[in-house]
Structure 1
Amino acid sequence: MKVAQKNNSQAKEVKQSPFPVFHKLPESFVPRYYDSISKFYRDRIAPDFNGMFLVAKNGEIVYERYKGTANKQYDKRIDKHTPLHVASISKVVTAMVICKLADSGELVLDKDIRSYLPEIMYEGITVRMLLNHRSGIPYYGYFPYSIWPADKALTNQKIVQLLNQYKMPLYFPPNSQFSYCNTNYALLALIAERISHKKFPILARELIFEPLGMTDSFINDGSQNSDSLSRSYDSRNRLEPFTNLDGIYGDKNLYTTARDLLKLDKATYSPVFLSDSIKKEMFRGYSYERKGKSNYGLGYRLREDQGKSTLFFHTGWWHGNTGCYASLRQDTICMVIISNHYTRKVFAINRLSTLFGNYPYEPLIDTKENFVQPEAAKTHVDQAVNRKKRG
């Protein structure tokens, strides 16, 4: 009896793989698509490209290319193990950390954020509204230098303090519309830290990177900002310097590779990594106040078009880093393109989606997506600061 109990205990300790078991690709698949993908890369991407390009089906790589320099000063070339800053693609990982916490019962998506950040002044905003950009909270990038100097590093916690100190009003009532805003995801990282009592880079490593074998991925909290990192360059190949916003994480500061993002994508098809119920919440749109094909789930952008399969993706753009990770879930296709030399070419990767299925082709950078325009958002913050100064 004692031996049986021991064996049962050992069986419980065996961890299930976080990856699904896909059917092996038929031998005809790669030859069928290789030439078309190669032509797309050669004609549209390769000239002057500096970065990573990957297309996979069922978690198997169909085509990949690595080209250029990660760091000119140290003469580091880009290969399959070179972590590059992927800008807002980081939001996918942040959303998954939050959804993992929800899956484990440590967090409730529809709970008021003051349950986790009691010091924040806003009422009626839930965790879900941060995830789908329907909170109305102002963007920290528009804080004027008069309240936060350019030579002083801003942190996730300081964002909350400044929002409160200057009583910055919401752009709009919570959950009344969509407006993409990095502050939402900076706050989500802070909420994850409060719940777990761990720094977000450690939590992301424990919940996401280590279980999925994403050995070339990490979240930079600003302490790793150094000349030895993979750096970014502008369109004229000039080095982009670090700024006072480069210590904020959750909305950005994920360094990763195309192959690691493929592992992440593959895991999203498994009920072991994320429950089916939480994935239903992630992979659906939330903003239908205005007509259009653009939408946002929980950490994923969407292109929806009647009669077509939904395209799930996330773009990124920070300093000279641009990129796109696309998940064609109807056909289990993953496409990744990342560059550390500024280029808009990366946003054209969805042209490939029509090769694999009936997906909408829409520009991935659409100025009509944000219903609060940058100038109005900046003015909104400036007005709050001026009111505070006037007393």
Structure 2
Amino acid sequence: MTRYSAFFLVLLVANCIACKSDHRRIQSKKGDGQSIETLPNYSNVDLSKVFTPQDSRIENKPAIIQAIDEYYRYVWERGNLSGGILVAKGDEILYEKYRGIAREDTALPIEKNVGLHVASVSKPITAMAVMKLIEAGRLKLDQPLSSLFRGFPYPDITVEMLLKQRSGLPKYEHFLEKAQVSREHYITNRFILDFIIKNKPELARKPNTGFMYCNTNYALLALVVEKLTQMPFPEAMQEIVFKPLKMKHSFIFQQKDIPTASQSFYNNGKKYPLDYLDLVYGDKNVYTTPRDLYKFSKALFSKDFLTPPLKNLIFQAYSNEKSGVNNYGIGFRMKQFVNGETLTYHNGWWHGSNAVFVHLLKSKTTIIAIGNKYSPRVYSTVALSCLFEDFPIEKEILYRELARIPSAMRNLSYVSE
């Protein structure tokens, strides 16, 4: 769940420097005894053949790696952050580091195979599972939610509006709190849907009239996946995304995972307790590693990930009622700068977890940071985007902050004069 968007922008400015899928039948039984039809399969996406040699080529490579390393030491080590960071261009991982512990009880060290909670970075992954179901003909973008969930009280809201954060639905965190729902037990996605059907909470805005970031959208999309696959969402995500992309250390957090999954911590190192919202998925609760998330990024770059008409929809900006830098595509945030460049990314926050997933279309670059000891400084990792593409920054802010930026980063070519 993302916060601190304004804070992230300050950090970005301050730190910037210079398948075609085949299908297979899955024999899972519906309540009426019928086996479900086909589920998408990414088996034709060879992640080793996504990029050309040119995609991995990089000028001034030693200086860029030095800059990333100096950033890591300056922000992550000096700030005592906990988690993992990975920067890759094309097929080459340029930088990868891990530090900290994943669990308080075992002092499990964080390393490349330890899954961490990426919070709202789950949204792009949920979105792509939905897009694969659309590609398979199981779902339509403009399909009303009321056609999927009997009694859904807002007939104008469609799957497309959920994906693009334009439904106008209120945030479940807010309407459940307002209703004083008991916090003694974990709630589920189904509980949220049933609450909406029964109580018809007032819409936050008229559907499809503008962008409003809302976790309810993606909690309901997880139920759409369950409805169409007749599988629990954690199982469906394994079949549609994680297994085909060989994301072996990725899963959807469930109650059974509490004794073994990585934990998150306050900045002082104290464990962050779970609460009644911790089993809601789709909007959050993907646990993954930087390497696994890099595989997902490769699939997004692949020509075989989705049919071209669908893939072309993902990174378009859909909320243009008001001019400005910030916008949203399908499961991705974006910043559209005055020089015509677009930064495509998603951040995440939940409890002590902070996450960054940057997917730079022009330079074929992936930047990932996952922290499990709360610190907004994790979001400054997005600033590494400026090493690969020319994102403008405000001169006065740059000059004011320049003394705080390590020397290796000050001397790179994308610093504006």
TM superposition shift of 1:110:
1.0
How many Å apart are 1:60 and its aligned residue? 1.7
SS class of match (2:192)? helix
Once residues 360 and 110 of structure 1 are traced to their aligned partners in structure 2, the CA distance between those partners, rounded to angstroms, is 36
Aligned residue in 2 for 1:327: 359
Distance in 2 (alpha carbons) for counterparts of 1:223 and 1:164? 28
Give the distance between the partners of 2:57 and 2:179, measured in 1 at CA. 61
TM-score by length of 1: 0.85
CA contact (8 A) 1:225 1:242 kept: no
The C-alpha deviation readout for 1:290-335, integer Å capped at 9, x for no partner, is 2211111111000111323211111000000001010111100000
| Change beyond 3 A, Cα 1:15–1:355 | closer
Matched with 2:51 is: 22
Give the CA deviation at 1:164: 2.3
1:193 aligns with 2:221: no
| Cα displacement (A) at 1:27 | 8.3
- In structure 2, relative to structure 1, the CA distance for the partners of 1:164 and 1:280 (3 Å cut) is same
What displacement does 1:29 show?
A: 5.9
Q: How far does residue 223 in structure 1 lie from its aligned partner after superposition?
A: 3.3
For 2:52, give the aligned amino acid: H
| 1:75-90 paired onto structure 2 within 5 Å | 75-90=107-122
303, 315, 318: which is aligned to 2:347? 315
1:306: which partner in 2? 338
Q: Separation in 1 of the partners of 2:223 and 2:65? A: 43
CA change 1:115–1:336 in 2 (3 A) is same
After superposition, where does 1:124-139 map in structure 2 within 5 Å?
A: 124-139=156-171
What is the alpha-carbon distance in structure 2 between the residues aligned to residue 77 and residue 345 of structure 1?
A: 21
How far apart are residue 70 of structure 1 and its match?
0.6
Q: CA deviation at 1:23?
A: 2.4
User: Does residue 175 in structure 1 map to residue 208 in structure 2?
Assistant: yes
2:83 to 51, 62, 73: 51
Rounded Cα–Cα distance in structure 1 between residues aligned with 2:228 and 2:322: 35
Q: Deviations over 1:218-271 (max 9, x none)?
A: 011333223x32100012211111111011100000000000110000111112
Asked if the contact 1:237/1:341 (under 8 Å) is kept, the reply is yes
SS at match of 1:341: coil
Structure-2 residue corresponding to 1:203 = 236
Alignment of 1:1-391 (within 5 A): 15-19=43-47, 20-24=49-53, 25-26=56-57, 30-47=61-78, 48-142=80-174, 143-144=176-177, 146-226=179-259, 228-360=260-392
Q: How many residues align?
A: 349
Helix, strand or coil for the counterpart of 2:84? strand
1:147 Cα deviation after fit: 4.3
Corresponding letter in the other structure for 1:49:
L
Indicate how the Cα distance of structure 1 residues 117 and 81 shifts in structure 2: closer, same or farther if over 3 A, else same.
same
Closer/same/farther in 2, CA of residues 316 and 347 from structure 1, 3 Å limit? same
Mean Cα displacement is larger for which, 246-255 or 106-115? 106-115
TM-score by length of 2: 0.80
Answer yes or no: is the 8 Å Cα contact 1:350–1:361 preserved in 2. Answer: no
SS at structure 2 position matched to 1:313: strand
Find the aligned partners of 1:21 and 1:115 in 2 and give their Cα distance: 37
Q: Distance in 2 between matches of 1:199 and 1:29?
A: 47
Compared CA separation, residues 179 and 230, structure 1 to 2 (3 A): same
* SS of residue matched to 1:268: helix
Q: Give % identity.
A: 38
In 2, distance between residues paired with 1:296 and 1:45?
A: 29
> Which deviates the most, 343-352 or 188-197?
343-352
Do the aligned partners of 1:52 and 1:66 also contact (CA within 8 Å) in 2? yes
Task: Give the whole-Å Cα distance in 2 for the aligned partners of 1:360 and 1:246.
Answer: 38
- Aligned-residue Cα RMSD (Å) equals 1.9
Which one-letter code corresponds to 1:358 in the other structure?
Answer: D
Amino acid in the other structure paired with 2:166? R
User: What is the DSSP-based 3-state SS (H/G/I as helix, E as strand, rest coil) of the residue aligned with 2:255?
Assistant: coil
1:209, CA displacement in angstroms? 0.7
The 3 A distance-change label for structure 1 pair 171 and 237 is same
Cα displacement (A) at 1:278? 1.2
How much does 1:115 deviate? 1.6
Please give the alpha-carbon distance, in whole angstroms, between the structure 1 residues aligned to 2:319 and 2:121.
20
Gaps of 5+ in 1: 1-12, 363-391
Q: What are the Cα deviations for residues 131-180 of structure 1, in whole angstroms up to 9, with x where unaligned? A: 11110111111112754201121110110111222221111110001110
